[in-house]
């Protein structure tokens, strides 16, 4: 599906498919899954029979064939609108699934036999445990782990990103996904999934919604809706004898209309669509949720466990400042630090040049491009360049550079140790720079916190979510990064097993815990967490242990996923509040109109001053039908979420959707009554 179409609320194809599905879903075998809408459909069949045989149930006043037909049509439209809402939500998922299916082609696979020879077979015949050779231009036949080789893999079919990803045997980038393509070199891959059970197959079935299970919250809400439906069934059943006792004759079709208006049809018709749309929003954010429960759990997260490296920080130490010794100026240290970094392609080397540009230090770089570059090695712990006049420029670990300078007969500045220690104390890495046999100063490297994170952590704090940073750094460095990022707590010198202990401790307090990870050593913690998001670039073990997979491999995306989960819960709660509040208004519209003739005193309750009992019932019934499609955009896009405390959120939504749920029907029913009253005068 194109990005342009993915942004549209409903495409033409989705609309037409949803329209067709609305009628297919009228099958009672399907409708019985939604108790509320099933009752509406039964009401439709009852009034349909009454339209053909007005007096089949005995006591029906006058010739009500025309009235029964109108009620029947409105009830049918009500059911169709509810089916349409669900079909639209499912249609968006199916459209995305169809685009994924295009990547699942029955290509040929090069199976490596025991004697080392190759056998060309269909990719659908590849079994778990087989080892296949995938060369440049070949599509990987199924999910697997690289056993040898290194290659660039185009994962755009899965992630939507055009840039290829380097994959190699061993480490955290050894897993590959079926349907992706090798664009350079070759790989030997051990297949880890059976045909039909690959990661792509799971994605397709989940996005289509074919295996979407009801979440605990949905089950609880469904139970509430069933209970309310039963209560109103009892109310309607007792209303008939009460009406007879009061000498008020009520048609069966009117009782059906009253029942449909009083049961929570609005949320009953939108409940499934809200759940499907919630998963769809996560999917469009390039995160695959393994279940609706995972998305819902995001909305209840209390604690978030985050790795420092790659999540909170960039993971590469970047130049932050240049500090000169007393004998030299800052311009001198900047100049020679840049010269030593001109051919240094490491992130640290590039960051030195970027920082000098920000400081507007002018250096003729062309003059130094033909110099002899000395690469960093673990033995020397230094890198640098040799100038044409024989001058050596070096940068590296303090002790290594000091030793190098001493060997050239130079002296060590008195203040260099103080500078090095001051950088180390704040969690930075000092790179000492020397020119010939003199030390000029220090490049201050630090692991930079990603921009915007403090503000995002503040948003989480406003939601009541605690953030905990896990890092292998020493306590001093960890404290510096934690303070700069704005996390609530930090765990220094953290080992993989420590993450599980942290999660268990938080869960023991009744907290819902979320975390991200990509390595095999993260798998146990991802499985233990209530919400575990694995990186698509990570190992197969991590992806199988998690209940969500981020296709973009962006660890910070967990922040947005939590907001989507909260939006799902808020949307469901808001529309439930609106639906139940609707019933209050419809009660005041119908009941007084029905009994005013026999009991004049009830006229005081007819606050809307509706024309007659007939127009009152039809107006309420029409409003009940049209409110469902009117709320489809909210169900699909979700109620706008703003970070705030639960108490404030509850008050806000009660005011908007509770009060609005009462006011809107009063206005809507009155307008409809004025329109249709002319037809019944």
Q: 624-648: string of b/e by CB count within 10 Å (b at 16+)?
A: bbebbbebbebbbebbebebeeeee
User: Residue 548, annotated ligand binder?
Assistant: no
Q: Is the dihedral of CA 241, 246, 251, 254 positive or negative?
A: negative
User: Residue 381, annotated ligand binder?
Assistant: yes
User: Residue 106, annotated ligand binder?
Assistant: no
Q: Which of 131, 144, 206, 130 is nearest to 180 (CA)?
A: 144
User: Residue 101, annotated ligand binder?
Assistant: no
Long-range contacts of 608-615 (CB under 8 A, 24+ apart): 608/666, 608/669, 608/670, 608/673, 610/669, 610/670, 610/673, 611/673, 611/674, 611/677, 611/680, 611/681, 612/677, 612/680, 613/254, 614/67, 614/680, 615/673, 615/676, 615/677, 615/680
Say how far apart CA 601 and CA 137 lie, in whole Å: 83
Q: State the Cα torsion 216-218-222-224 to the nearest 10°.
A: 70
User: Residue 348, annotated ligand binder?
Assistant: yes
Longest Cα–Cα distance of the chain, Å, equals 118
User: Residue 383, annotated ligand binder?
Assistant: yes
- Assess whether 307 carries a catalytic annotation: yes
Look at strands 548-550 and 531-535 and give their pairing.
parallel
CB-based burial of residue 153 (10 Å sphere; 0-12 exposed, 13-18 middle, 19+ buried)?
buried
For 360-427, list the strands marked E by DSSP: 372-374, 382-386, 392-396
User: Residue 303, annotated ligand binder?
Assistant: no
The tokens describing 661, both together, are 């749920």
* Cα of 220 vs its chain's centroid, Å: 23
User: Residue 344, annotated ligand binder?
Assistant: yes
The tokens describing 638, both together, are 């979700």
How does DSSP classify residue 170?
S
- Find out whether 633 and 9 touch, Cβ atoms under 8 Å: yes
User: Residue 322, annotated ligand binder?
Assistant: no
Region at 518 (left for phi over 0; alpha for psi -120 to 50; beta for the rest): alpha
User: Residue 539, annotated ligand binder?
Assistant: no
Annotated catalytic residue within 138, 307, 332, 554: 307
Count CA within 13 A, CB hemisphere, residue 488.
Answer: 16
User: Residue 377, annotated ligand binder?
Assistant: yes
User: Residue 345, annotated ligand binder?
Assistant: no
Say how far apart CA 114 and CA 180 lie, in whole Å: 26
User: Residue 376, annotated ligand binder?
Assistant: yes
Instruction: Please give the positions annotated as active site.
Output: 307
Binding site listing: 344, 348, 376-383, 395, 518, 522
Binding site listing for ATP: 344, 348, 376-383, 395
Binding site listing for Mg(2+): 518, 522
């Amino acid at each position: 599906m194109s990005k342009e179409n993915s942004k549209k609320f409903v495409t033409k194809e989705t609309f037409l498919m949803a329209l067709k599905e609305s009628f297919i879903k009228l099958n009672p075998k399907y409708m019985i899954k939604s108790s509320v809408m099933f009752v509406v459909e039964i009401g439709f069949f009852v009034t349909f029979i009454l339209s053909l045989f007005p007096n089949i149930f005995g006591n029906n006043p006058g010739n009500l064939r025309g009235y029964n037909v109108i009620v029947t049509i409105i009830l049918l439209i009500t059911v169709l609108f509810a089916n349409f809402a669900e079909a639209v939500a499912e249609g968006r998922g199916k459209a995305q699934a169809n685009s994924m299916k295009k990547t699942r082609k029955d290509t040929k696979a090069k199976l490596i036999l025991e004697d080392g020879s190759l056998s060309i077979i269909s990719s659908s015949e590849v079994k778990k445990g087989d080892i296949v050779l995938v060369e440049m231009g070949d599509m990987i036949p199924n999910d697997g782990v690289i056993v040898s080789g290194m290659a660039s893999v185009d994962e755009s079919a899965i992630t939507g990103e055009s840039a290829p990803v380097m994959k190699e045997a061993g480490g955290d980038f050894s897993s590959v996904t079926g349907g992706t393509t090798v664009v350079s070199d070759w790989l030997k891959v051990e297949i880890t999934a059976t045909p039909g059970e690959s990661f792509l197959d799971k994605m397709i079935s989940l996005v289509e919604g074919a295996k979407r299970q009801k979440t605990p919250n949905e089950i609880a809400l469904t139970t509430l809706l069933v209970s309310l439906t039963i209560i109103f069934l009892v109310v309607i059943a007792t209303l008939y004898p009460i009406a007879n006792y009061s000498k008020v004759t009520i048609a069966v079709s009117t009782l059906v209309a009253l029942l449909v208006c009083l049961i929570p049809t609005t949320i009953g018709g939108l409940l499934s669509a809200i759940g499907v749309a919630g998963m769809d929003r996560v999917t469009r954010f390039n995160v695959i949720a393994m279940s609706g429960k995972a998305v819902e759990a995001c909305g209840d997260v209390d604690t978030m466990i985050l790795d420092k490296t790659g999540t909170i920080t960039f993971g590469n130490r970047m130049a932050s400042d240049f500090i000169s010794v007393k004998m030299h100026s800052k311009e001198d240290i900047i100049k020679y630090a840049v010269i030593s970094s001109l051919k240094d392609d490491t992130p640290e080397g590039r960051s030195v040049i970027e920082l000098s540009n920000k400081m507007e230090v002018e250096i003729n770089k062309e003059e130094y491009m033909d110099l002899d570059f000395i690469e960093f090695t673990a033995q020397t712990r230094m890198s640098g360049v040799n100038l044409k006049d024989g001058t050596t420029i070096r940068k590296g670990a303090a002790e290594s550079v000091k030793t190098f300078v001493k060997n050239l007969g130079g002296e060590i500045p008195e203040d260099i140790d103080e500078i090095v220690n001051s950088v180390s104390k704040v969690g930075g890495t000092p790179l000492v720079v020397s020119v010939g046999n003199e030390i000029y100063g220090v490049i201050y490297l630090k692991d930079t916190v990603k921009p915007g994170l403090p503000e995002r952590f503040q948003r989480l704090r406003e939601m009541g979510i605690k953030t905990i940073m896990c890092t292998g750094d020493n306590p001093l460095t960890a404290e510096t990064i934690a303070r700069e990022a704005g996390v609530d707590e930090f765990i220094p010198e953290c080992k993989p097993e420590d993450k599980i202990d942290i999660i268990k401790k938080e869960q023991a307090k009744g907290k819902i815990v979320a975390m991200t990870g990509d390595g095999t050593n993260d798998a146990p913690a991802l499985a233990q967490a209530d919400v575990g998001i694995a990186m698509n670039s990570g190992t197969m073990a991590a992806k199988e242990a998690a209940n969500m997979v981020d296709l973009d491999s962006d660890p910070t995306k967990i922040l947005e996923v939590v907001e989507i989960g909260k939006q799902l819960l808020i949307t469901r709660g808001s529309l439930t509040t609106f639906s139940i509040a609707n019933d209050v208004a419809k009660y005041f519209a119908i009941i007084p109109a029905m009994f005013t003739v026999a009991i004049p005193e009830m006229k005081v309750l007819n606050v809307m001053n509706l024309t007659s009992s007939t127009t009152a019932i039809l107006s309420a019934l029409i409003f009940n039908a049209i409110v469902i499609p009117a709320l489809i955009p909210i169900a699909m896009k979700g109620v706008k979420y703003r970070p705030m405390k639960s108490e404030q959120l509850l008050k806000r939504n009660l005011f908007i959707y509770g009060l609005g749920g009462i006011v809107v029907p009063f206005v809507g029913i009155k307008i409809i009554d004025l329109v249709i009253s002319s037809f019944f005068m």
